Structure 1
């Protein structure tokens, strides 16, 4: 019975989106994508941006209803998210934020168009005209419902930059930059805390042809995950136009969030994406220690990082 109800709701949802008025591009410009390797600080950046600026985004309420994202968006707005979250909450658990209307990565939402699993990197032209148009039309609908610029965060978008830029030529990308060794330590802790252990792959795979390598020792895996994802971003940046990318240093964001948010706002307005303040951010955040793992693990990751850089220089 539940499946019948869900299928019925999904059909209604599709009709709702299909009946919406179409137009060439997003009225408010963009969309905006917050990207970076896993554990680089993208969630904190996303929380700050959605709490302090008047953006439209996919909420936790909507993400729990991936079978009817259009209806869920309409209901979320009707329930009164309006222009305020449930206070400013900046805690998170591996990308999961608190509150009914907190910002969500919405992985299942994006899997409507993009592949899951190990082979998640999609190049320009590989998505297909039908799925590209469906995604474009839904985001146009979402913008109409939210009535404000759209912003999304999902680390897997690092694997989709070319397609996203192809479908949305006016898209902009906010890249979160964090010291690779700090990111690597955080990934190691995530591997151990989520139950898989340090040798178990966690989160975004490596760019092709590697995917999820099983022939690498865990320190090399983790360093490659951080550095290769940043390389993927930088390659796409060159290929798709660096003027649509903006770097945010994670440490600076923690020390001076208001100053960094002002710089982000200026960048967005230079790209005709006009946003308004909703509230000021906290004065600062604790960025975390430079060393957060055992001495032995820190040394192993440091050595792997040095080897990676030496090989890059030789190449």
Structure 2
């Protein structure tokens, strides 16, 4: 018994040390784009949850950047404030004329790969890139300068899977909305992992415990981001002399954030003609990849040191929330006459990316591929994807496999995967 206790104690210490080795890192932290007022509110609200001894440097670093972000935001407001307000009003007034596309799926299910591939069709889509997601309060004027000045804030590859990472590449819009709203997002489960349940209401905003104020704050933040991305796309299009007048009006937003999987109802209320692509992956593989991401990526963001058991519970609970909300809304869309949702598997996308993308285009009736898009897609598939090596994970311990089978039972059955024996 004493050996068992010592073994658990050693494992807990090793886990803690593996986290704290990142405590002085300034990289790969999505919070760095937050403004001062929103940041101070968060710090004050969770002041008793922060491990100040371990993370005082990180809090100080983000605090300094938040002051800079507020200054940059003020400049953007002076330059673009009226135009942003006009665009928000236009989008709100004509929401039925907006046709955004949302890529859904649990984290580690292939959403990034799918997002990257479709984003090459720049004739039909505009995106939220990594800089816009990271610094949403100032990108309309600061993007070209900031990409140079702040380049050291991110690695050249993602810590969890070695996929390319740069300010130019597509990124999750929820990163931007999470800091614009002052932490009203499930993404803030990560810095405050020990208190992750405090943020569960922000998955769907449909819970009986979700405040009306939180829902409205998130909605306003998302609408502002959406309008700014549209404004950015219009400006970029007008700067291209080869662009035909009015061609940007045909472009639609291509957005990807796994937490949107819980928000189909809310997003359809905002954009009645939105379309959704749901990508799924074998749940046992999802868990392994999610745990790997928790070990390699989450420590860049932590403001409190969680136990391994807390992180495991977060992985399980997040999957359950996303799946239950999606399955509820899935039936509503599939039973309607609108072609608003298509489902594909990660294995299908990896096996034949060209056919998978073609299938999506045909289903929604999007414009045919341009020669430029086809060439880019073929080049990526034939070079980068073929040479890319996916992570290989060890077999789950029996107790983890049993827990996946028990807690994720419904998704395994509904999506047609086999139970791990």
- TM-score of the pair, normalised by structure 2: 0.55
1:86 corresponds to which residue?
A: none
CA shift, 1:92, in A, is 4.0
1:35 partnered with 2:128? no
Shift of the 134–225 alpha-carbon distance from structure 1 to 2, 3 Å rule, reads closer
User: How far apart in 1 are the matches of 2:411 and 2:170?
Assistant: 37
1:18 partnered with 2:85? yes
Q: Name which of 250, 258, 262 aligns with 1:155.
A: 258
User: How far apart in 1 are the matches of 2:74 and 2:317?
Assistant: 45
CA shift, 1:234, in A, is 1.8
User: How far apart in 2 are the matches of 1:46 and 1:228?
Assistant: 22
Shift of the 137–106 alpha-carbon distance from structure 1 to 2, 3 Å rule, reads closer
Shift of the 247–30 alpha-carbon distance from structure 1 to 2, 3 Å rule, reads same
User: How far apart in 1 are the matches of 2:232 and 2:157?
Assistant: 26
| Partners of 2:95 and 2:270 within 8 A in 1 | no
RMSD (CA atoms):
3.7
* Uncovered stretches (5+) of structure 1, i.e. residues with no partner: 77-89, 202-217
Q: Computing the radius of gyration over CA atoms, which structure comes out larger, 1 or 2?
A: 2
1:100 partnered with 2:100? no
1:292 partnered with 2:292? no
Greater Cα shift, 12-21 or 122-131 = 122-131
1:144 partnered with 2:144? no
The equivalences for 1:63-74 within 5 A come to 63-71=133-141
The equivalences for 1:31-180 within 5 A come to 31-52=100-121, 54=123, 55-71=125-141, 92-94=158-160, 97-111=164-178, 112=180, 115-116=184-185, 117=188, 118-119=199-200, 120-123=202-205, 126=212, 127-128=215-216, 131=220, 134=224, 137-138=227-228, 140-142=230-232, 144-145=234-235, 147=248, 148-180=251-283
- What does the per-residue CA deviation read over 1:188-232, in whole Å, with 9 as the maximum and x for residues that have no partner? 21222234664243xxxxxxxxxxxxxxxx3x6544433442232
Shift of the 50–190 alpha-carbon distance from structure 1 to 2, 3 Å rule, reads same
1:204 corresponds to which residue?
A: none
CA shift, 1:173, in A, is 1.1
Which secondary structure does the structure 1 equivalent of 2:255 belong to?
strand
2:327 corresponds to which residue?
A: 234
- What does the per-residue CA deviation read over 1:131-168, in whole Å, with 9 as the maximum and x for residues that have no partner? 27656654653553462221011112223322111101
Which secondary structure does the structure 1 equivalent of 2:115 belong to?
helix
User: How far apart in 2 are the matches of 1:70 and 1:240?
Assistant: 35
User: How far apart in 1 are the matches of 2:307 and 2:234?
Assistant: 44
**Count of aligned positions:** 276
- TM-score of the pair, normalised by structure 1: 0.71
CA shift, 1:4, in A, is 6.5
CA shift, 1:5, in A, is 3.4
CA shift, 1:309, in A, is 5.7
The structure richer in helix per residue is 2
Shift of the 133–51 alpha-carbon distance from structure 1 to 2, 3 Å rule, reads closer
